[in-house]
């Protein structure tokens, strides 16, 4: 929480961390596509837009949540003050900014059933995903075979708003 609200410190941190995270994502995507070219890769990356990694994907799925809901959930989940959560939200793109990059928007402001219905509807439009690469936190890196959507959905449930899901698809 020390860098949120401190633009210079946040920029310094992201300049150090983001290149390594992108390199790991690129490697995992390439490995997955090499081992099974028909594979669809799901990359869950909270900072996909902010880090300008849009070129990694054919589709961008953005998760949004009403700010009041995000604050309530984060305060409960992480035992943070509303001011601390607001500082984090202020350091992120707004829902409208995220929507402007999205091919599909998942609204996580309601209950879990509504979230699952949205994901199931979008999921039905895509072939079976087999890889989920998680981005934040860096200690959570790695490819998880099978049920990529389930892995990404678990992240969406936990992170309320900060999630962006992308789907690089073989364009042959």
Contact 17, 53 (CB under 8 A): no
Q: Could you give the count of Cα atoms lying within 13 Å of 1 in the half-sphere of its Cβ?
A: 11
Kindly state the percentage of the chain with pLDDT values over 70.
71
Contact 49, 101 (CB under 8 A): yes
Measuring CA to CA, which residue among 96, 142, 151, 93 is closest to residue 119? Answer: 151
Q: How confident is the model at residue 1 (pLDDT cuts 50, 70, 90)?
A: low
Q: What is the pLDDT of residue 31?
A: 86
Relative orientation angle of helices 112-123 and 148-159, to the nearest 10 degrees: 150
From residue 32, alpha-carbon distances to 5, 39, 116 in Å are: 37, 7, 26
CB-CB neighbours of 171 under 10 Å: 5
Measuring CA to CA, which residue among 97, 12, 85, 5 is closest to residue 50? Answer: 97
Judged by DSSP in three states, 79 sits in coil
For residue 137, say if its preceding peptide bond is cis, omega within 30 degrees of 0.
Answer: yes
C-alpha 56/C-alpha 155 separation (Å) is 19
Q: How confident is the model at residue 11 (pLDDT cuts 50, 70, 90)?
A: confident
Lowest mean pLDDT among 23-32, 78-87, 92-101, 144-153: 144-153
């Amino acid at each position: 929480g020390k860098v949120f609200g401190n633009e210079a410190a946040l920029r310094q941190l992201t300049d150090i961390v983001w290149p390594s995270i992108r390199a790991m994502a690129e490697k995992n995507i390439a490995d997955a596509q090499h081992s099974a070219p028909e594979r669809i890769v799901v990359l869950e990356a909270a900072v996909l837009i902010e880090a300008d990694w849009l070129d990694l994907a054919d589709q961008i799925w953005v998760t949004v949540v009403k700010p009041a809901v995000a604050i309530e959930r984060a305060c409960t989940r992480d035992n943070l003050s509303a001011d601390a959560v607001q500082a984090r939200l202020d350091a992120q793109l707004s829902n409208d900014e995220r929507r402007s990059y999205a091919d599909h928007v998942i609204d996580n402001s309601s209950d879990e059933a509504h979230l699952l219905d949205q994901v199931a509807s979008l999921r039905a439009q895509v072939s079976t995903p087999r890889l989920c690469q998680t981005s934040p936190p860096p200690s959570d890196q790695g490819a998880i075979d099978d049920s990529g959507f389930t892995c990404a959905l678990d992240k969406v449930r936990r992170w309320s708003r900060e999630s962006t899901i992308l789907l690089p698809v073989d364009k042959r």
